[in-house]
Structure formats: C-alpha cells, structure tokens
Amino acid sequence: MRLIFLTFCLLISTNTISAGRTIDIPAPPASLAQWYPPVAKRLVWLHNMFKLRRELQAVAEYARLKDQPRMNKWARQFDMHYRKIGEMVPEWKSELDMDGAQRLASATESGDFSAARQAVRKLNQSCRGCHRDYRAIVTLLYRTPDFSKQTINAGPDGKTRYKKHMEMLATEINRIKIAMVDERPKAALNAFNMLSTGINQLAESCANCHKQTRIGKNYFDADLQAMLKKLGSAIQSGDQRQSGMALGEVAVSACSHCHGTHRVLYDLKQLTK
C-alpha cells in the first residue's frame, strides 16, 4: 500500500521545481526494517536482490548455451528468491509478476530456451516498478550512515559533535578569507593552523566507520597535504590571489567530496524523520 507519504519540502527553487512545492515519496512498508541492521545482522534484503540479478543472468546465459540442467538449476533458485520478496515483505506481494515466474519455470523445465530468454526479459522489466518507487528511499532509510551521534576527538573533552566541528571548520575557512582580504596575515595564519588541526582530527574520525578501508588515510592524502602546505605559504607571503586559489582547492578536496556522499544523504535522511 502506498498510503503513507513522506513529505519533502523543497526550500530552493530551480527551473523545474518551484519554491514551496512538496515532493511525495512513498514510504516502504515497516516490515522491511527487520531485513536490515540493526534488527538483522546483515543486509538480508539487499543480498536477496543481488541473487535475483545473478540468477536471471545465469538463466539467460545457459539458455544461450542451450545447457538445460544448469539453466534449470538457476531458474529454481531464482523462483525461491523471487517468492522470498513477498514472504519477507507481505505488503509487496502485489509487486511480483507471478505469471512471469510461472512462465520461466515451465520454459526452463521443458528446455524451451527461447521461451526462457523471453521470460527473463519480461521478469527483468517487472523489477523496475518497485525500483522506481522504492530503491532510493530504502537505501536512504536503511543504509545511509547516521552522523548525529558521531563525535570527533577534538575540544576539551575529546568529544566534539560532528556538526559543531563542521561549523568550526567552515568558520576558520571564512576567517582565512576575510583576514587575507583585509591584510591581516597573522589572523589568517592563526585560522589556517586551526583549520589544519581540525582537518587532521576529522581524518582520524573516518576510521570510526571505515575500519577496513583506507578511506580515512585516502582522505588526508598527499594531495590534500600538499594543498594545505601551499595555502600556508601563500598566507605567509601575504599573497591574496594565491591564497584564494589554494583555499578553494582545499575546500573542494577536504570538504566538498565528502559532502557529496555523506552530507547530502544524511541531510535528506534527517528530512524523513
């Protein structure tokens, strides 16, 4: 049932969306939550999805190779995992193309390769309706990391809230810019030191979640370090133009890239609460 709607109020206006218009996005059934952490240990729902795509691909490939036993084996697995959608989330049973699943089962069992390939094509199309309505919102609700309780090892107690640390970083960036424009290099240098320390502390916090990956280290990589060094020297020599350019580079590398993933999704997620 698509009766519950989340309302997203758009505050900015663009060519196609005018200010004050609301966007309705259907909310997935609550029963989906049990197939995602923290209720489930793994991303059970998502892994079932990956299986579906692989199984349909296998059926199509063995149909092309005219290998009936293998085609049939994968088709049976597909059938089981496709039905699982409705077992896991009963509200979504109506989204399933059970006639299509039946046609695939008959075609693969009787070894009708061309009918099997046609059934695969049809079934692939049947996935789209649910994906169009729900895929993005489900990723947002169940897989987007929550930064509200994240802290950064900074400040007097070593537990600065993410948001507070972010505000500090933005303040220091603007302080650098203001002080350079007004020819106060000492103030700019102070702000630069605060910014560098703050970026360093931020980099350590990536490992709170990115345990196995090298994202934390990749974030504060040689390029970013070189850019910061360049910014520091430009400030020291009082070069407004150079420091302005270096500041822009630092902001893109140290802030915008991560915002593109984490802030956009996190901000959207907050709107759904």
Residue whose entry in the numeric block shows the structure tokens 């009708």: 112
268 binds ligand HEC per the rule CB under 6 A? no
Least separation in angstroms between CB 9 and ligand HEC = 17
Residues numbered 144 to 203 that lie near ligand HEC (CB under 6 A) are 145, 147-148, 150, 162-163, 166-167, 169-170, 173, 199, 202
Residues 192, 235 contacting (CB under 8 angstroms): yes
Residue whose CB is less far from ligand HEC, 45 or 113: 45
83 binds ligand HEC per the rule CB under 6 A? no
C-alpha torsion sign, points 223, 229, 234, 238: positive
- Binds ligand HEC (CB under 6 A): choice among 120, 138, 176, 234: 138
- Binds ligand HEC (CB under 6 A): choice among 2, 21, 42, 53: 53
Least separation in angstroms between CB 267 and ligand HEC = 6
Dihedral, CA atoms, 79, 84, 86, 89, nearest 10 degrees? Answer: -160
Residue 237: C-alpha distances to residues 91, 92, 138, 183 (Å): 66, 64, 51, 11
Piece in contact with ligand HEC (CB under 6 A), picked from 1-9, 62-70, 208-216, 225-233: 208-216
Residue whose CB is less far from ligand HEC, 167 or 183: 167
- Binds ligand HEC (CB under 6 A): choice among 19, 50, 102, 200: 50
Sequence letter at residue 104: L
Residues 8, 271 contacting (CB under 8 angstroms): yes
The residues, ordered by sequence, that sit 6+ positions from 272 with a Cβ below 8 Å of its Cβ are 6, 137, 140, 141
Residues 243, 231 contacting (CB under 8 angstroms): yes
Count of alpha carbons within 13 angstroms of residue 7, beta-carbon side: 5
Name the residues that contact ligand HEC, by CB under 6 A: 45-46, 49-50, 52-53, 56, 82, 85, 92, 95, 123, 126-127, 130-131, 134-135, 138-139, 142-143, 145, 147-148, 150, 162-163, 166-167, 169-170, 173, 199, 202, 205-206, 208-210, 215, 219, 254-255, 258-259, 261-263, 266
